[in-house]
Amino acid sequence: MFVILTYDVGVDRVNKIRKLLKKYLTWTQNSVFEGEITKGKLDKCLSEVEKIVDKNHDSIYIYTIRSTKFISKNILGNEKSFDELFL
Amino acid sequence: MNKDYYIFSHGRLKRKDNTVYFIDGGDNKRSLPIEQVDKLHLFGEIDLNSKLLNFLPRFGVMLNFYNYYGYYSGTYYPREKNVSGFMKVKQAEYYNNHESRLFLAKTFVDSATHHILRNLRRYEEVSKEVIEGIEKERNNIETTDEISKLMGVEGRIRKWYYKSFNEILKNGFKMNKREKRPPNDPVNSLISFGNSLMYTTVLGEIYKTQVDPTISFLHEPSTKRFSLSLDLAEIFKPLIIDSVVFKLINNRMIKKDHFDNEEGICFLNEKGKKKFISEYDKKLKTTIKHRKLKRKVSYQMFIRLECYKLIKHFIEDQTYKSLKAWW
């Protein structure tokens, strides 16, 4: 499935969260990650996230789309590092 | 499913923030989500350090290296996790017994022939004579009693097959003879490049299972190479590589200027390789509804399923029946 994950966390946790999410998804914008991921991997990822965040102050939104057929993505301006086959 | 990444730029690959970073010559950084990586293919000139090499096996990531011409040169692969002494002994037993080795070798060749005929029947231009010739030769597979004779049958089938390439390929692409070392014309270089990709894909799938890549049946297992992946690649070459080659050429996706010629060696340049790889990758991810599993299965998964079928065969659970595309 395809996931878009956004986060709003306290300053001292921003870097921790970003570094962790980088292992699983592609960093597309400040505090936005997206990418293809399996259910199991996402659960694993979120359980790691839970250890870092402070549930009273921070929030993490996870949008999941089962099939990528029904999303379209348009970009205005600069496209930042999007996942590609070639490097 | 995890992804393969192909690195063509020159640069440095390193571990940072517990994931993989690629820094190219122009100091552009890209991080790869390690949990989503299946294999890394290095085509460019790339520096790496032992920190990275220590990190990758934790996620079971393979590094495949290719030389300047795009030929497979080797793999750095994780410490084997799926080891099974029991399986290895069983597999070796099948190799050692002439009858059972011949049985497996025959099924590989038969399946390859099935896919060859399947390719040829798709094109009206192919003459009846060729198809009949191959069918006649196919009947000989059953009656051979020697691996070397079987290889002969296979060679003759391939000769017919490659001859009919000229009838299938359009847009001015011609092939006189299959020439491997080195390929001397565009069609040959496409096939060679494709086959080396196939080889690494099969090897990657074998590593995910318990079968031993060095004990093969059709090809003579010797030192220095993983010959079981050659055996299994035999089944998938006509099914995957050749149909990608036909598509690329006949739809004018690949043109003469995608090739470089250096002292009689013809090879794909970077643009050409990228074209080929993206088509190949698409093909591997294509899914087909499996009749027995009753779910969609990708071409890549079909390769692994062959390994599982071999395991079942070795432990005498179910006789091996090689894949014959039914769709």
Rounded percentage of chain B residues whose pLDDT exceeds 70: 98
- B17 touching A, CB under 8 A? yes
Q: How far apart are CA B239 and CA B198, in angstroms?
A: 11
pLDDT band at B158 (very low <50, low <70, confident <90, very high): confident
Q: What is the mean pLDDT of residues B76-100?
A: 82
Q: What angle, rounded to 10 degrees, do the helices at B128-143 and B98-121 form?
A: 170
Q: Which residues of B208-236 are buried (b: 16+ CB within 10 A; e: fewer)?
A: ebbbbbbbbbbbebeeeebbbbbbbbbbb
Q: Do B34 and A25 touch (CB under 8 A)?
A: no
Nearest to A85 among B24, B30, B277 (CB): B277
Q: How far is the CA of B119 from the CAs of B124, B146, B162, B277, in angstroms?
A: 11, 28, 12, 20
For the segment B58-67, what is each residue's pLDDT rounded down to a tens digit? 888 889 898 8
Q: Do B277 and A86 touch (CB under 8 A)?
A: yes
pLDDT for position A5 = 92
Q: How far apart are CA B239 and CA B93, in angstroms?
A: 30
Residues of chain A with pLDDT under 70: 80-83
Q: How far apart are CA B221 and CA B229, in angstroms?
A: 11
pLDDT for position B1 = 67
- B316 touching A, CB under 8 A? no
Whether the per-residue pLDDT at B104 is higher than 70: the answer is yes
pLDDT for position A83 = 60
For the segment B17-72, what is each residue's pLDDT rounded down to a tens digit? 888 888 888 777 888 888 888 889 998 888 888 888 888 888 888 898 988 877 88
Whether the per-residue pLDDT at B223 is higher than 70: the answer is no
Scanning B208-298, the segments in alpha helix (DSSP H) are 227-236, 243-250, 270-285
- B49 touching A, CB under 8 A? no
